[in-house]
Chains A and B, each alone.
Chain A
Amino acid sequence: MQWLYLYFPNLQLDSLLHQQAYNQACVLVDKNEVVQTNSEARQLGIKIGTGLGQAALLSAQLKVIAYEPKQEQRLLAQLAQRLYQTSATLYLDPPQGLLLQTSDMLRLYEGLAPYWQQLQQPLMERGLHYHYASAHSPLAAQVLARAGNDRLLTHQGEATGLLHQLPIHSAGLNYKLCLQLERLGLNTLGQAQALPRSALGQRLGQTLVTYLQQLEDSSAPSRPRYQPPEHFRQRLELLYEIEHSTALRFPLKRLLSDLEAFLAPRQLQAAGLILGLEYREHTSERVYIGCSDGEYRAESWLGLSMLRLEQLQLQAPIIAISLKTKGQMPWAPLSAQLFEPLGGKLTAGQLISRLQNKLGDHAVQQVYLRDDHRPERSFYQGAPQSSYQAHQATTYLRPSLLFTLPQALNHKPDQQWCILSGPERIQSGWWDNVSICRDYFIARNPTGQVCWLFRTPREEWFLHGYFS
């Protein structure tokens, strides 16, 4: 079996810097020690392992960011998710490595070079620095990649040859073991491999023997291989704090293009997205962006999201955003009419989603009927639904405009009013404590408005609607 190992020494820093062009020295620091540097910082002489104090002396404008293993692990999983489209069998090797089994995929891609080209593309898009090596065993590939080998080796002989010449200290062994080996005069891996295993085991412990065995063992690692998640969920740390919701456009665009890359190959679409906004010193907020028809394209989602975000007042500067899908469903292309004369730019569902995202869910409604004699309860307004259940309307004439709260009339209708019909007594609702007892009249007032009036048993008169 052939294995390919990808090693990302600057995973967190590269991902952070990729969002925005930042051309100042920048380092990630863990426990007062520099762990990742960008090229500007390296030019100033800041190396991995430099103390924070020394680094600060080397550059006054140094940007220092805390190293977060959790975030790096998340980034690695995101990367695996993307690479899974190219390569079927892959293993996470946290914190900074990915192991890919290549032998099965070569048949599909017809050779190592086209396959490697496919793999490189997402890495370049993300602006990641990486080292790679292919070899006959997982450990050999890992050791060669971490040593910065950057070569694709197809023959086992080449890989073993390189491993033989590899200095002991870059073989990925722990520091104590390296020291012991060097004291024995073993400076390259090949020298250690040449010695009898049992003797080595007695002198230096079983770890080394296992290591040497694994270098030659081409079988798959015992840990489970990577399984892509069923639902899209991604988080993006921002290099700068964002204070205006419109400035979220660019980081959001990146998340949405990842979403598209997630949904499209699976033939899925999302009915809604939940955008998480993480504030500095403030509890994070969730924003729901809906599209009832379902959508997978990043461009459409971006338009909908921006409508929603324009309405949003940020409570504090944003330091990170996250995105997850709500309601994934199989992608069903909307059937467009072949001889559509009307342009048909949007479907009704898309229009409704757009309106809802801008105006809020409650602002866009449909009217539904209900069997109730009480006029104000005989219909209700609710969220638009794709399947509308028709309902029989009442046969009594009802006004087209109805007041939510009936308006009290100062005095009862006098001679100038013309009663057109009535009374129609509606007495109902005694079972749910909203009982009414009203005598309804259709009357025309002196202005010419056709009104719907009612009289209560206490002889109070109310205007309830207009026959517009």
Chain B
Amino acid sequence: MALLQLEKERLVWRARQLTGPDHRRQSSFYPTLDAHLQGGWPQTGLVELAYGSAGIGELRLLFPLLAQAESRLQVWINPPAELNGQALAQHGIDLSQTLLIRCQNPQQALWSAEQSLNSGCCSHLILWAPGLTAPQAKRLQVSAKGNQALMFWLHPQAEPSTSALPISARLSLAPLATGLRLKIHKYQGQWPQSFCQVDMHELWPSLAIPTHLPTHHGPAPSSNIAALPFKPR
């Protein structure tokens, strides 16, 4: 009886559930991440990304996925700065399917997110919001699942929300010299894992610190800096 109760409250999962429709994956196009997440991002649902501070590569983590555009909308809600169309286009994102929404208050942002998901014409949704309550997260998770959409919730805290939100995954990101270090706090259908290093050097060589580059490939990084015409104080 006790086990049934636990199952009802979704506190335990069975290995056979892994093959169910809830656990289909789509590749993140980062081999190490795919290996850690048993195939990649969830096909549908809500994923929380705690990125600490902007600019560490939190969007680059998603760009390869978003570039595999289908013919549905990708909705961006309340990005912390202007979304640079040039950069999105460079990364292969279809701007004709990109919708940018700016809301005055958090309530409207959540409303827009829910409407976009429920419309059925949105494949990916990226929402910047400071916090979600459990009922809000539940509603968005249900909307995303029911409409074949994957939603990312980004917030600039270093650690993901402590409360046990009913969502598909909770990850926190930290910068590394060549990419990101992901901590997987929760991932539906598998045990929490410690860490995963995502190497972005291959995709963005110019944005990684060239520590492991052989020096004969060009000017040394130190000389690169030294060549800058800073005026001495």
B88: chain A residues at CB < 8 Å are 367, 400
From A352, A369, A449, contact of B89 by CB (8 A): A369
CA distance A148 to B88 in the complex (A): 74
> Is B54 engaged at the interface, CB distance under 8 Å to the other chain?
yes
A35: chain B residues at CB < 8 Å are none
CA distance A420 to B147 in the complex (A): 42
CA distance A395 to B98 in the complex (A): 20
* Binding stretch for chain B, among A3-11, A128-136, A401-409: A401-409
B103: chain A residues at CB < 8 Å are 359, 363
From B81, B98, B176, contact of A401 by CB (8 A): B81
With A351-B73, A359-B112, A419-B224: A397-B90 Cβ-Cβ less than 8 Å: yes
Contact present for A351 and B95 (CB under 8 Å) = no
> Is B230 engaged at the interface, CB distance under 8 Å to the other chain?
yes
> Is A343 engaged at the interface, CB distance under 8 Å to the other chain?
yes
> Is A264 engaged at the interface, CB distance under 8 Å to the other chain?
no
> Is A364 engaged at the interface, CB distance under 8 Å to the other chain?
yes
> Is B116 engaged at the interface, CB distance under 8 Å to the other chain?
yes
Name the residue on B nearest A394 (C-beta): B86
From B63, B96, B120, contact of A342 by CB (8 A): B120
> Is B122 engaged at the interface, CB distance under 8 Å to the other chain?
yes
Hey, what's the 0/1 contact readout for A439-453 against B, CB within 8 Å counting as 1?
001101001111100
> Is A459 engaged at the interface, CB distance under 8 Å to the other chain?
yes
A341: chain B residues at CB < 8 Å are 148
With A366-B100, A394-B86, A404-B82: A420-B120 Cβ-Cβ less than 8 Å: no
Chain A contact residues: helix, strand, loop or mixed = mixed
User: Could you tell me the distance in whole angstroms from the C-beta of A428 to the nearest C-beta in chain B?
Assistant: 14
Hey, what's the 0/1 contact readout for A360-402 against B, CB within 8 Å counting as 1?
0011111111000001001111001000101101110111111
User: Could you tell me the distance in whole angstroms from the C-beta of A450 to the nearest C-beta in chain B?
Assistant: 5
Contact present for A368 and B95 (CB under 8 Å) = yes
Name the residue on B nearest A395 (C-beta): B90
With A393-B90, A448-B56, A467-B60: A367-B98 Cβ-Cβ less than 8 Å: yes
Contact present for B96 and A388 (CB under 8 Å) = yes
B105-158 contacts to A, CB under 8 A, are: 108, 111-112, 115-116, 118-122, 146-148
User: Could you tell me the distance in whole angstroms from the C-beta of B94 to the nearest C-beta in chain A?
Assistant: 9
Name the residue on B nearest A452 (C-beta): B55
Contact present for A468 and B90 (CB under 8 Å) = no
> Is A344 engaged at the interface, CB distance under 8 Å to the other chain?
yes
B174: chain A residues at CB < 8 Å are 448
Contact present for A467 and B225 (CB under 8 Å) = no
User: Could you tell me the distance in whole angstroms from the C-beta of B107 to the nearest C-beta in chain A?
Assistant: 11
Interface centre among A358, A367, A379 (most CB of B within 10 A): A367
> Is B166 engaged at the interface, CB distance under 8 Å to the other chain?
no
Contact present for B206 and A397 (CB under 8 Å) = yes
> Is B80 engaged at the interface, CB distance under 8 Å to the other chain?
yes
CA distance A380 to B60 in the complex (A): 21
Question: Taking beta carbons and an 8 Å cutoff, which residues of B are in contact with A?
Answer: 53-60, 63, 72-73, 79-91, 95-96, 98-104, 108, 111-112, 115-116, 118-122, 146-148, 174-176, 204, 206-210, 221, 224-225, 228, 230-231
* Known A388-B96, A420-B206; 19 more pairs at CB < 8 Å: A343-B147, A344-B120, A346-B121, A350-B119, A351-B116, A354-B115, A358-B108, A358-B112, A378-B86, A394-B86, A397-B87, A399-B55, A399-B84, A400-B84, A401-B84, A418-B209, A448-B53, A449-B55, A450-B207
Question: Taking beta carbons and an 8 Å cutoff, which residues of A are in contact with B?
Answer: 341-348, 350-352, 354-355, 358-359, 362-369, 375, 378-381, 384, 388, 390-391, 393-395, 397-404, 412, 418-423, 441-442, 444, 447-451, 459, 465-468
Top 4 A-B pairs, shortest CB-CB distance: A448-B175, A466-B55, A379-B85, A388-B96
